[in-house]
A and B are shown apart, each in its own frame.
Chain A
Amino acid sequence: MDFQVVILAGGFSSYLVPLVAKEVPKALLPVANRPVLSYVLDLLESSNLKDLIVVVEGEDAALKVGGWISSACVDRLHVEVAAVAENVGTAGALRAIAHHLTAKDILIVSGDIVSDIPPGAVAATHRRHDAAVTVMLCAQPVSGPSESGGSGGKDKTKKPACDDIIGLDSLKQFLLYIAKGTEIKKDTRVKKSILCAAGKMEIRSDLMDSHIYAFKRAVLQEVLDQKPAFRSLKQDVLPYLVRTQLRSDVFSDQSNVEENGNGNGKNNMQNNEVVLSQILSNASMPSFHQVYESGLGTRKTHKCCVYIADESKYFVRLNSIQAFMDVNRDVIGESNHLSGYSFSAHHNIVHPSAELGSKTTVGPHCMLGEGSQVGDKCSVKRSVIGRHCRIGSNVKIVNSVVMDHATIGDGCSIQGSVICSNAQLQERVTLRDCQVEAGYVVCAGSEHKGETFARK
């Protein structure tokens, strides 16, 4: 397939502080002890998309990501890592790497996705409609992606984070309108011309933009060149293309234009008449874009398509701490097919090299990384524990993520928290819904709830 894939891996997302740090850019955050980026790469590989460009914000982060990629998958995939300046936005990042883009179509994937929706399907839809842009939509998680109850702190933060409002045509093929619900104050405007051309527009708020887009390269570059103020793909470029789909300013197909250039004016007219007479004779419409285009003669249209993922598919973007917790829980729990690990009969993974003390239990939906040690009389439930962690005795870990090389003293109780790598909890620390930054030391005997520990 002549698709080039751009993975926008971002840099150090401010939403994820303190989980991300200098040492750990967002793309390398561990999900079930694998960097989140590896899930994206696996997903792309499964669709046989192997020509990838990973765009990272900031040189340092790029080095880190590049290092990981070269160690992990250089043999299977053809990956380039490109560093762009920080805070240029998604559109800015694409502008910066424009010279790398050569294929006819570009698939743009956010680097923080954990999903099992095949990106190949998006690419296929894109090609089938010869669209300028195809957007993948998936069901908005209403009550959280996982149905498994009983995870503390789940309910209160489960409001859908992004509230996309999406207008589709009656066949759910074309994207007619897109807006962010939070940005709409009182009312919004929909272009009548689009509405008239399409006949019906279904407005949905139960779908969300999954940040997987297929663009025609020529269109994308044209827009990026023409509109230097556009910063974000989602907020600027996509709405622009949707709005202008019936009077395209972008030459969606330059070769076509040249062919049609001079000699074919007459031909065009004939075509118009054919379609016009179809309108008059009440024939079924070819596609509203074609009808519209023919009516205008000089104007061009482009199609904005959607691919709506099946509701049963899993999709989460790792863009908040809550999402991080959810993803970790789901990948070793409900949606364990994503993790790529094989689970034991107890629905958990305990690495053979991990050492468990006596009377210690590791419940289902848990993961214990390579070389970790757990003391006596501990209980681990629905949690991920990284590699080479040292956990004392009488420790309770529930619904938490403990990253590599963390040290947890005797008698600690951890619930719904994230302990980053190299962090240390001294004895009898009680944490609930807390985040502990990498390398941070929490003093003995303290009790905390809903706090963030970071060096200022």
Chain B
Amino acid sequence: MCGILAVFGCIDNSQAKRSRIIELSRRLRHRGPDWSGLHCHEDCYLAHQRLAIVDPTSGDQPLYNEDKTIIVTVNGEIYNHKALREKLKSHQFHTGSDCEVIAHLYEEYGENFVDMLDGMFSFVLLDTRDKSFIAARDAIGITPLYMGWGLDGSIWFASEMKALSDDCERFMSLLPGHIYSSKQGALRRWYNPPWFSEQIPSAPYDPVTLRQAFEKAVLKRLMTDVPFGVLLSGGLDSSLVAAVASRHLAGSEVACQWGSQLHTFCIGLKGSPDLKAAKEVADYLGTRHHEFYFTVQEGIDALEEVIYHIETYDVTTVRASTPMFLMSRKIKSLGVKMVLSGEGSDEIFGGYLYFHKAPNKEEFHQETCRKIKALHLYDCLRANKSTSAWGVEARVPFLDKEFINVAMSIDPEWKMIRPDLGRIEKWVLRNAFDDDQDPYLPKHILYRQKEQFSDGVGYSWIDGLKDHANKQVTDAMLMNASFVYPENTPTTKEAYYYRTIFEKFFPKNAARSTVPGGPSVACSTAKAVEWDAAWSNNLDPSGRAALGVHVAAYEEAVDVEPANLMNGAHPMQKGF
């Protein structure tokens, strides 16, 4: 990842302003530790902090077209940049950077080229000929992007809120799949896939098509000039990513540079279920596996920094981001700059436990659509910002545009959880990789659920967080919570605790509005809470209780057989 910051029309091109922009851009330096650049054109500034993944030697930004009339600052990876370069034969490229195509595509196609980009990206482009600009964000919002307005009439864009929150009167998260054009003065959605309408699709399930689409998604993400690895929690999603990556690594360009043995990474409290599961998968695949341990105290000590980086007070996101944040630091210290990760599968296939209660395939499908649309507020945000905090880039093959199209066109009847037919959650995905001749994963891994009640990284992590919050937040504080925090009022001490930290870093109204709230059970949307009347009485983000699981069971031994599909496994684990 890189960090971008752009300011347009600030009626001030003094040295003081330049210094201020440089200072604000430095707040994004963790995203791009390798180099920084600033282009100033009259009262327009485009700043960049670079993490060099493709063409480290010459790809410093901002990037330009031939005559430098068009300037772009980009955070992203354009996987099809070579194919696009082919289409732009008449253009001369300055660098080998994958992002340089953006300036030339704009020259060629105007503002309507964004859908041609296959990848993840946030960018801001300035056309100095008429001082117009556009800003765009990738389809699902894998990369973050915020937009703000200054009292002086300026418009701001930044990869993270912290770069513009102090200087803008108002700001918001720029919606994924959208483009802002200064000529139109408005946002427009450029991403219009068939599934977006939420109509119920009818394509029959074809396991081989699904498999091939995913393999392609992984394969195109092996484009890198620097060392990389896979985040492996040992769950289905990350194990599939690792299996496919390790299978295709040998033939790829990157293997020539960095060796064909895949590195895999896992974090947990000592003895945690994830560590055990990941080790098993790593052994099977023969990867070079790295285990990292953290203590509850280390996690708690990191909380402030985590919230500063991820810019949310959403409880499950904070819980899940902390281990990922700690792990990213260790990964980076090994010299690894990019990792593949398994986010998105639970949204696309309805992998969350509450999907067991989906009343019919229509509701099931619409909920998956809603979940994908909200990813940028949750798991994409977590995966991107937890890793970017240490200059590590996370790539998420499940959120490949093509793959989503294939997976979301399947008749949702196939995705429904049908214990009577032996279909557990994400059965369509599991079955697609069930290859007897040339197995991707051993059957028991391919079809296993996570350990019961697992927090993944370790049983005592979430309890430790709650205990800590209980010590810091008094009953009186919680009682007054709705007065202190009328918007998205925290309902638990843990939530209250995170909220106080968030407010310290981001005190503006606009900041708290960028974080989603509302009723939810076990990560459901508000709508899905209606699926079970009992839920509305017991909302808890982890949903242990709400899903009908005996809370006392949590205290029981670790290795309980996951016989009860309605267990309280928390979706946080899918991340790693």
A and B associate in one complex: no
Chain A residues near B (Cβ < 8 Å): none
